[in-house]
Structure 1
């Protein structure tokens, strides 16, 4: 009886797996909408450079402490080089001000590959790596470059009001932009973070870069970026910083530290600690 029940149980599991595979493979190649439904992910927020321990501790006078960070940022921004966005068959100029969603047809339509908005590194100001090749690290004013993860056909919605936004970030609410705000995560670090500057289109994520149509239809797609610079952070102390984006359909999870937000420990050291 035991072995009979065991065999039946294993058979049912195998049957379920086979049906799952057949169902996935039966989706037509051009039915991107169905694939989107299966692969919908939480709206994640990611920053560059990244480290294994989620901390960026540097000494402006010692380039060994930030050389790998600079290398990672340069490599990430390579796809945003101007010369790689010159093909007007795949790219279009979407302006340097926040705009409305770019509707490039339905996912299931036979329009083929869709155009992508150009994004100039110059939008990132002193954090672009154009003039300051060290992204502020050598001056003790480190930059972070932030992006939202790609979700097919997702349209992030700006906050309908500023009621759910911290008092110091309410002024960032504006049409056609998903705002981002960084602050100290621990109360004891209040006042240590100093001024935080935001660079990009509208200081957030503009809506004209959405929706994203997936790798097959939007192979040249570039996510909009926001650069964050800590211009006068307290020296010789480690501060846990939390950055969050705000929107009607953007949520957070205690189990996922990158869903709609991220936190990182930042320290600018000028002496041995």
Structure 2
């Protein structure tokens, strides 16, 4: 059988596109195209209507002011985790301070990691409440607490590169926000139940924070007596619970390590203490881990 020539193939394809004799386009007549067009119009209209109905039902289950899942049903299971800065590289948890001018780029990355978080805290708003004298939670508050940015950055600020080039590094701590979660603290009659790390200075006005070396050798070289916390050693109760208040800013704590042994990599853990905070380093709940290195 003789193969069709190129011209015959082109003629055949052109005839398929439009057949002038039968008045067919792509092998279909006008009636056939009208029927199939009507079918797909109805088909996709039904699909769009079904999709719109499911979205409408979905939005009926959502409250614009309250998350659907709270407490133990939420992703965080009602137990806040803790984060820290500087962390310019997600692949490492090493906080390194140095006076070496060759590592200036590294120090710049460290400080930028912190300043990116602080940018939102520099702006004060008149709608916030001064909670300086409030030592308890505010479950019915409609406004958020005004954060004391000046006290936070008194000794840890961009002016001194957050202690990174003075071998007195500052680490910024923050608890995750959980809607409606309120810390439960020990009162004065439960002093024997307060964790021993904070018992000597404990007051029931905050979620206490305590940083320490993870191992005995780390503890010996961390200069434990010279760890400073700004503006206080913990997160004030007045900032809780978070209920989507306007301009809400989570409280922050700067931890400054003033006398860490140099040229040694130390493992550090910072914990948050409250009755209803479970500390689990594996699941990163209620605590944070990082390495600390002071170069000459």
> Same fold by TM-score, threshold 0.5 exceeded?
yes
Match of 1:36?
70
Output the TM-score relative to the length of structure 1.
Answer: 0.76
Match of 2:273?
246
Matched, 1:58 2:88: no
Decide which structure has the larger Cα Rg and report it. Answer: 2
2:117 is paired with a residue whose SS is: helix
Matched, 1:71 2:102: no
- C-alpha contact (below 8 Å) 1:154/1:212 kept by paired residues: yes
1:268 is displaced (CA, Å) by: 0.3
Match of 2:235?
205
- C-alpha contact (below 8 Å) 2:156/2:170 kept by paired residues: no
- C-alpha contact (below 8 Å) 2:270/2:287 kept by paired residues: yes
1:198 is paired with a residue whose SS is: strand
Q: Specify which structure has the bigger relative contact order, considering alpha-carbon pairs within 8 angstroms and separated by 6 or more residues.
A: 1
Greater fraction helix:
2
Match of 1:187?
216
How many matched pairs?
232
Q: 1:138 to 1:212 in 2, by over 3 A?
A: same
1:133 is displaced (CA, Å) by: 3.9
- C-alpha contact (below 8 Å) 1:121/1:128 kept by paired residues: no
1:30 is displaced (CA, Å) by: 4.8
Q: 1:28 to 1:137 in 2, by over 3 A?
A: closer
Q: 1:253 to 1:168 in 2, by over 3 A?
A: closer
1:255 is displaced (CA, Å) by: 3.1
Matched, 1:170 2:209: no
- C-alpha contact (below 8 Å) 1:85/1:118 kept by paired residues: yes
Task: Tell me how far apart the structure 2 counterparts of residues 231 and 171 of structure 1 sit (CA, whole Å).
Answer: 21
- C-alpha contact (below 8 Å) 1:122/1:128 kept by paired residues: no
Output the TM-score relative to the length of structure 2.
Answer: 0.70
1:123 is displaced (CA, Å) by: 1.9
| Structure 2 gap ranges (5+) | 1-53
| Structure 1 gap ranges (5+) | 1-19, 106-113
1:253 is displaced (CA, Å) by: 2.5
Q: 2:157 aligns with which of 113, 126, 129?
A: 129
Q: 1:268 to 1:98 in 2, by over 3 A?
A: farther
Higher mean alpha-carbon deviation, 29-38 vs 188-197, is at 29-38
Aligned-pair RMSD on alpha carbons? 2.5
1:170 is displaced (CA, Å) by: 1.7
Task: Tell me how far apart the structure 1 counterparts of residues 182 and 161 of structure 2 sit (CA, whole Å).
Answer: 34
1:167 is displaced (CA, Å) by: 3.6
